[in-house]
Structure 1
Amino acid sequence: MSKKSFPKPSELPVPAGAEGWEEIYPYYLVFQDKLKEEEDKKFWFCDSQHWPTVFKPFETIGAEYSVKCLGQYNARHLMIPNANGIEFRVHLGYLYMSPVSVPEDEIADRIPEFQARITHYFQNWDSLLEQWKAKVRGTIDELESLTFDRLPDIVPMDDIITGKAKDGSEVLLENYDRLISLAYQNWQYHFEFLNLGYIAYLDFFNYCKEIFPDIPDQSIATMVQGVDMELFRPDDELKALATLAVELGLQSHFADPDDVDGTLDAIAAAEGGAEWLRRWDEAQDPWFNFTVGNGFYGHDKYWNEHFEIPLGYIADYIRRLDEGQTIMRPTAELLAEKERIVEEYRELLTGDQLAAFDAKRSLAATAYPYVENHNFYIEHWTMGVFWRKVRELGRTLASYGFWEDPDDLLYLNRNEVRDALFDLVTGHGVGAPGGPIGAAHWEDEIARRKDIVAALKTARPAPALNTPPEQITEPFTRMLWGITTEQVESWLGAGEEGSEGVLKGMAASPGVVEGVARVVMDSDDLSDIRQDEILVAPVTAPSWGPIFGKIKAAVTDIGGMMSHAAIVCREYALPAVTGTGSASTSIVTGQRLRVDGAKGTVTILDGEGAAPVVEGPGAHSHHSHHHAAPVAEPEPSRV
């Protein structure tokens, strides 16, 4: 008998050593005893897609800004008829979300407002998007200009003469407030177009399902996919640099990419090296404002601060080129496949239906690339500059003895950092011999919080809390997170009988392959991936692009049709199954898997928990089909 509910928040055990964890986060982010009855009635799912690891207190800023701003565009700007925003809480260090629906009797009133607002955007799409880029660039430039220097021991004589009458402490305080508000500004901008991209796609998606009830979700996605997307540019730049290195015969200098200075010096001294280095410098701005993580954590490493990362990817591309592999994405084939599928469906329509199909498809195809491109501007570029400035501030406070390691600042929440700055400027201003009080206050408290965060990390989050609704309708929840009614039922084990060794998820990118699993829990493990392995991860970040040419397929715990893993795998023509709920904890590296991206199944073929072997012609034909239809070729017609 399958379960009907997930545990309540209060039923989850607190890991040993994490007692008192609620105190390290702001009060409005944790479940409240006084609201227990209301909060237990809501269904919450864990967003481990964007927040796969426990928050340090300062890091909740990314979750707060992004989910709040997502909500405001549904509920306050665009007046989406059937969806408000998404409530969110931190529980045991992980982020949980609960979609807020619109009462039935208010839906009709919102429709005219919604129509007027989206019409304005869609009619002026190109010019508004240009404006958007200018707004976002302006914010980034201002973030870059912020400084967090130590205070002067003595006010310069010039300031006395000009009557400036300030000691420089106001710059630290104002710049900190500016840092926090500029990040907020770009997160507000972030969702201005993102929600529209989802709306246009969902509108086309729903229309296709209405006129072609059996159409696969993937065919709909293929008909609007962009090929020339800015999010792929960083990876494409590395491929171009690898190709140039091979053309110039510089391969031997990439033997140890972890030694950045040694590698770049050797290239500089080589014939043709100056030409390569010119191209390397050119690629950095803006494309190296790119993280191996997702931009939501202070520990995410950015290419422009860790050259060993892009150099390592380039070295791998050089190896593959020397082995005779093709490293460029199959863009011509992808476009041909897209056109072919569009034409097949168009041939089945006439008159008004054809006109509606064309209009909705063209709108979705215009808006869709933004769904990924925004990611480069905000999560990568904006947040890269933001975290770099946070580290600068952490270093300055460390230099006054507030803590040892500049990153210790992340164990304070953002309002406590403000208090620490007032403490600093006060201690400095009055000239007391002891200086600021922070050193005495923070040492033990930071140590305590580090222990709590480490203890919280020992437990994986529950995928969801409380009782799921009969139907899940909120568009983001379905498209981005892959939280559908069917998915939640499968997490609860509704279809357990006869499925031993088979994980069920979303059919995110078509094709069938067999191969060896490589379980990757975070971006630090990416370097372990070997050619032709199957990537299994809680979630993949868009910045993992360079490994998609190496792997045979991808399997994730969370994510829907519009998750990055799904989109990137379709672009690289790799099978993918997303939203399995538990692949990363039920599969171990080295096990053989069969991934069927059209059915959304992952079969464990050997080792612990393997599926029973099916004898007879059925099993054989499945295997031979896999050899007969290599994934990279366009699929046979699905109409």
Structure 2
Amino acid sequence: MDAQTPLFPSAYDLKAPAGAEGWEDLYPYYLTFQPNLREKEDAKFWFCDSQHWPNPFKPFDAVTVEYAVRCLGQYNTRHYLVPPANGVDYRIHNGYCYMSPIAVAPELIEGRIPQFLERAGHYFQNWDSLLDNWHKKVKANIAEMEALSFEKLPEVVPIDWITEGRGVDPHLDIMGNYDAAIQLLYKTWQYHFEFLNLGYAAYLDFFGFMKGEFPTIPDQAIAKMVQGVDSDLFRPDDELKKLARLAIELGVGDALKSGSVDEALAAVAKLPHGPAWIDAWEGAKDPWFNFTSGNGFYSTDKYWIDHLDIPMGYLRDYILRAEAGETIERPTAELIAERDRITSEYEAMMDEASREAFQGKLGLARVVFPYVENHNFYIEHWSMSVFWRKMRELSTMLKEEGFWPTDDGMFYLSRQEVRDALFDYGNAWATGGDWIGPSYWPQEIERRRGIIDALATQPPQPALNNPPAVITEPFTIMLWGITSESIQNWIGADEVEGALSGMAASPGAVEGIARVIRSPDQLSEIQVGEILVAPVTAPSWAPVFGKIKATVTDIGGMMSHAAIVCREYGLPAVTGTGNGSSKIQTGQMIRVDGNTGKVTVLD
């Protein structure tokens, strides 16, 4: 490949869409490509992580990419010393996140192996007790966030603050609670990656072993050996299914089928067995409705607990399907039977020494792999649900004090600027003067809103600069589905009209009508028997998986959430097509082959 003619554009030559000029000022300096570093930055290959961050960042929302990717890196680089992989470099360009994995210099890999074995080995050998402790830490962190509150400053300090000689004022609490929220968020993402990279590492070790034993073994056959996991990520969906079955059993299903959530619940309460069903509904809400239809990374995410019409809509659909005699539960027994069949077939072909190694590596992978999905409920959903709720409360309080005209105003400020606005709020209160914020922020937020809206009009470039001749970094391949082949798909090399290639992520082949979805707000449009086509799916879309035949995504590897969830729901999936959601249109008949990674437009 000619180094003088990059396959993808340079960030430095990629202009912002009209109306988005000056977008760089919305983010910290370390998140943007610096002009004086062009030669260094252009020498790297960057890919757009639209799997986790499919939309341009409001300034405040960028904290999620900062903390998530920074904390991912610390465990590879400073905690466990993963032999071939350090962290991932990341930048925001034109509002989107670009990543560049940082490899370990080849001569340093061997020296990291004994340190990795000691450090990771301690976690592997004490997995259950350490994971029990992790759950306690995460739940305590959530409880600390829940306890935070943001009260408007009073006209005067209460008299008992004087008689007690307290010696401080309530603004201290506002500043302290905001700082605490940010630090608790930081801790949340430290916890997120404490186990995650080890879950991938154990699976990748097993994956490499199987490829060594059987060079032609399909990737899916290896993945099937760890399927059938009982993950808390599926609990919100499972709770709705149980509630649907219970509604039919208690004779309250018809009362739930229409009206607003409040109207439906009021109708149920009047029925003989209604209170019992409502008790079950209330019991499911905490914690399982702390679940977003997005992915937890944006302030705009809608959580079930705050938008009960979302779970109620899924519940109504489950009641109708259950009444029609459909099986609405996940096919867990079939998945486990298939898992055991494939496992025994390959094990039978091994000699005694290989079989012993196989049992050890598979055993470890099965112990640690559930965390790869399980953590998602506790971090992206439950923890982020509480964090965003508290930040919305703060934004609304400052709106009511005149700092901005809309509830979401604060999210157009960076996290550091929020501190400045809060100091302004307490400063003028203390002096008896006027706040500056109400005369400064409304027009500035409007300017920034225009920039973010303009950035959203232009889809991101899938990558920047030249890729390496061969992609070898395992996390890049497994999580994001970025391989030398997928890069060729992005640029349309060997493109055949009506045909798309991606990663064979979940087995099976079906034909059906395509439904292109670009936002969780469109999920209600999906009809029974359609094929879901999206830039990326979220794990919380699981309630619609019972209606669809298959899934196609633009980005994602074998270990992406889309791939894992589809395998656990028994749905064919092709991930990492690059541009499937742009090439395919709603209403087209398509064929999805999750065995080969091929998607064909049939009309």
Question: What's the TM-score, normalizing by structure 1?
Answer: 0.93
Is the CA contact 2:293–2:541 (under 8 Å) kept in the aligned structure 1? yes
Matched with 1:286 is: 287
How far 1:491 sits from its partner (Å)? 1.8
* Superimposed CA distance per residue, residues 517-564 of structure 1 (whole angstroms, 9 cap, x where no aligned partner): 000001000000000100000000000010000000000000000111
**Distance in 2 between the 1:212 and 1:474 partners?**
21
Matched with 1:459 is: 458
* Superimposed CA distance per residue, residues 52-98 of structure 1 (whole angstroms, 9 cap, x where no aligned partner): 11110000011111000001111110101111000000000000000
Matched with 2:66 is: 64
Query: Residue 489 in 1 paired to residue 491 in 2?
Result: no
- Name the amino acid aligned to 1:324: G
Q: How does 1:417-496 map to 2 (within 5 A)?
A: 417-432=418-433, 435-496=434-495
- Name the amino acid aligned to 1:163: G
Q: How does 1:478-627 map to 2 (within 5 A)?
A: 478-496=477-495, 499-606=496-603
* Superimposed CA distance per residue, residues 308-366 of structure 1 (whole angstroms, 9 cap, x where no aligned partner): 11111000001111221110011111111111110000100121100011100010011
Is the CA contact 2:503–2:575 (under 8 Å) kept in the aligned structure 1? yes
* Superimposed CA distance per residue, residues 192-213 of structure 1 (whole angstroms, 9 cap, x where no aligned partner): 1000000000000011111011
Is the CA contact 2:228–2:335 (under 8 Å) kept in the aligned structure 1? no
- Name the amino acid aligned to 2:571: L
Matched with 1:123 is: 125
How far 1:260 sits from its partner (Å)? 1.4
- Name the amino acid aligned to 1:334: L
**Distance in 2 between the 1:521 and 1:43 partners?**
27
How far 1:495 sits from its partner (Å)? 2.4
Query: Residue 21 in 1 paired to residue 23 in 2?
Result: yes
How far 1:255 sits from its partner (Å)? 2.8
**Distance in 1 between the 2:201 and 2:563 partners?**
18
Matched with 2:243 is: 241
How far 1:271 sits from its partner (Å)? 2.3
**Distance in 2 between the 1:527 and 1:13 partners?**
36
**Distance in 1 between the 2:504 and 2:229 partners?**
21
**Distance in 2 between the 1:93 and 1:580 partners?**
22
Is the CA contact 1:132–1:189 (under 8 Å) kept in the aligned structure 2? yes
Question: What's the TM-score, normalizing by structure 2?
Answer: 0.98
**Distance in 1 between the 2:472 and 2:419 partners?**
41
* Corresponding residue pairs, total: 601
Query: Residue 160 in 1 paired to residue 190 in 2?
Result: no
**Distance in 1 between the 2:271 and 2:359 partners?**
54
3-state SS in 1 of match to 2:500: strand
Q: How does 1:333-412 map to 2 (within 5 A)?
A: 333-412=334-413
3-state SS in 2 of match to 1:18: coil
* Superimposed CA distance per residue, residues 157-215 of structure 1 (whole angstroms, 9 cap, x where no aligned partner): 11111100112110000000000000000100110100000000000001111101111
**Distance in 1 between the 2:157 and 2:570 partners?**
62
**Distance in 2 between the 1:457 and 1:254 partners?**
38
**Distance in 1 between the 2:6 and 2:592 partners?**
29
3-state SS in 1 of match to 2:511: strand
Is the CA contact 1:225–1:368 (under 8 Å) kept in the aligned structure 2? no
**Distance in 2 between the 1:256 and 1:188 partners?**
43
3-state SS in 2 of match to 1:224: coil
* Superimposed CA distance per residue, residues 209-239 of structure 1 (whole angstroms, 9 cap, x where no aligned partner): 1101111111111101243111000000000
Matched with 1:619 is: none
How far 1:471 sits from its partner (Å)? 2.0
3-state SS in 2 of match to 1:535: strand
3-state SS in 2 of match to 1:7: coil
Q: How does 1:12-51 map to 2 (within 5 A)?
A: 12-51=14-53
Is the CA contact 1:152–1:167 (under 8 Å) kept in the aligned structure 2? no
**Distance in 2 between the 1:394 and 1:369 partners?**
36
3-state SS in 1 of match to 2:169: coil
Q: How does 1:190-205 map to 2 (within 5 A)?
A: 190-205=192-207
How large is the RMSD of aligned CA atoms in angstroms? 1.2
3-state SS in 2 of match to 1:84: strand
Is the CA contact 1:54–1:453 (under 8 Å) kept in the aligned structure 2? yes
How far 1:269 sits from its partner (Å)? 1.0
- Name the amino acid aligned to 1:436: W
How far 1:126 sits from its partner (Å)? 0.4
**Distance in 2 between the 1:14 and 1:585 partners?**
21
- Name the amino acid aligned to 2:261: V
* Superimposed CA distance per residue, residues 226-274 of structure 1 (whole angstroms, 9 cap, x where no aligned partner): 43111000000000000111112222223335x1111111111122111
**Distance in 2 between the 1:510 and 1:254 partners?**
36
Matched with 1:330 is: 331
* Superimposed CA distance per residue, residues 496-521 of structure 1 (whole angstroms, 9 cap, x where no aligned partner): 3xx22100000000111000000000
**Distance in 2 between the 1:271 and 1:312 partners?**
24
3-state SS in 1 of match to 2:113: helix
**Distance in 1 between the 2:150 and 2:472 partners?**
46
- Name the amino acid aligned to 2:214: F
Is the CA contact 1:15–1:459 (under 8 Å) kept in the aligned structure 2? yes
Unaligned segments of structure 1, at least 5 residues: 607-639
3-state SS in 1 of match to 2:555: coil
Is the CA contact 2:268–2:275 (under 8 Å) kept in the aligned structure 1? yes
Is the CA contact 2:256–2:267 (under 8 Å) kept in the aligned structure 1? no
**Distance in 1 between the 2:276 and 2:460 partners?**
50
How far 1:118 sits from its partner (Å)? 1.1
Is the CA contact 1:226–1:369 (under 8 Å) kept in the aligned structure 2? no
**Distance in 2 between the 1:308 and 1:462 partners?**
36
How far 1:304 sits from its partner (Å)? 0.7
Give percent identity, aligned residues only.
Answer: 59
408 and 235 in structure 1: CA distance in 2 versus 1, 3 angstrom threshold: same
* Superimposed CA distance per residue, residues 598-628 of structure 1 (whole angstroms, 9 cap, x where no aligned partner): 000100011xxxxxxxxxxxxxxxxxxxxxx
How far 1:400 sits from its partner (Å)? 1.2
Is the CA contact 1:69–1:188 (under 8 Å) kept in the aligned structure 2? yes
* Superimposed CA distance per residue, residues 364-397 of structure 1 (whole angstroms, 9 cap, x where no aligned partner): 0111100000000100011100000000100111
How far 1:489 sits from its partner (Å)? 2.4
Is the CA contact 1:4–1:492 (under 8 Å) kept in the aligned structure 2? no
Is the CA contact 2:12–2:33 (under 8 Å) kept in the aligned structure 1? no
How far 1:4 sits from its partner (Å)? 5.9
- Name the amino acid aligned to 2:177: N
Is the CA contact 1:503–1:601 (under 8 Å) kept in the aligned structure 2? yes
Unaligned segments of structure 2, at least 5 residues: none
3-state SS in 1 of match to 2:305: helix
**Distance in 1 between the 2:375 and 2:494 partners?**
38
**Distance in 2 between the 1:332 and 1:225 partners?**
11
How far 1:46 sits from its partner (Å)? 0.3
- Name the amino acid aligned to 1:48: S
3-state SS in 1 of match to 2:98: strand
Matched with 1:132 is: 134
**Distance in 2 between the 1:225 and 1:596 partners?**
19
How far 1:492 sits from its partner (Å)? 2.6
